[in-house]
């Protein structure tokens, strides 16, 4: 942990579109139309590992992961949720929540480091974000 203020890692910022601000996390959509893929980033400066979060933050993170997963499953086709906290490339703590289908581009492999991201059409991204935020508000 550092004393610096929280700021989103620039690599996460570059790869994502903003979706929502939750009590603990920034909610981002990975700009890759191949997979409906959210990333949750706790606004805690210097955080890198889930087990180093304070207990209250840890509980809140679980709740926010579940909320993101439920939203994806209700909003897009989803045969399986994939949830992961890796951070080997970007150390800033971030949790992936991805809706997978048996016909997606790399099924059944994990999505990370597979092929090249395909940016959303602007209207498609806006529509998906609108549907997700409508679910969140319900």
Q: Rounded to whole angstroms, how far apart are CA atoms 82 and 17?
A: 19
Nearest distance from C-beta of residue 66 to a second copy, angstroms: 5
Q: Which CB sits closer to a second copy, 16 or 94?
A: 94
- For a second copy, the binding residue among 86, 118, 121, 130 (CB under 8 A) is 86
Q: Rounded to whole angstroms, how far apart are CA atoms 91 and 76?
A: 29
Determine, following the binding rule CB under 8 A, whether residue 138 of this chain makes contact with a second copy. Answer: no
Give CA separation, 7 vs 13, 45, 55, 59, 86, in Å. Answer: 10, 7, 22, 22, 19
Residues in the chain: 138
- For a second copy, the binding residue among 14, 113, 123, 138 (CB under 8 A) is 113
Instruction: Note the residues at the interface with a second copy (CB under 8 A).
Output: 48-51, 58-59, 62, 65-66, 69-70, 73, 80-89, 91, 100, 107-110, 112-113
């Amino acid at each position: 942990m550092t004393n610096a203020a929280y700021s989103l890692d620039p690599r996460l910022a570059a790869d994502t579109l903003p979706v929502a601000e939750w009590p603990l996390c920034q909610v981002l959509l990975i700009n890759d139309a191949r997979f409906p893929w959210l990333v949750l980033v706790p606004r805690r400066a210097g955080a890198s590992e889930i087990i180093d979060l304070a207990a209250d933050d840890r509980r809140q993170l679980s709740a926010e992961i579940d909320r993101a997963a439920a939203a994806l499953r209700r909003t897009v086709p989803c045969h399986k949720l994939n949830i992961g906290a890796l951070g080997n490339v970007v150390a800033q703590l971030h949790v992936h929540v991805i809706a997978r289908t048996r016909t997606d581009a790399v099924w059944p492999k994990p999505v990370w480091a597979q092929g090249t991201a395909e940016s959303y059409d602007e209207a498609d991204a806006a529509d998906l974000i609108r549907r997700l935020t409508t679910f969140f508000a319900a």
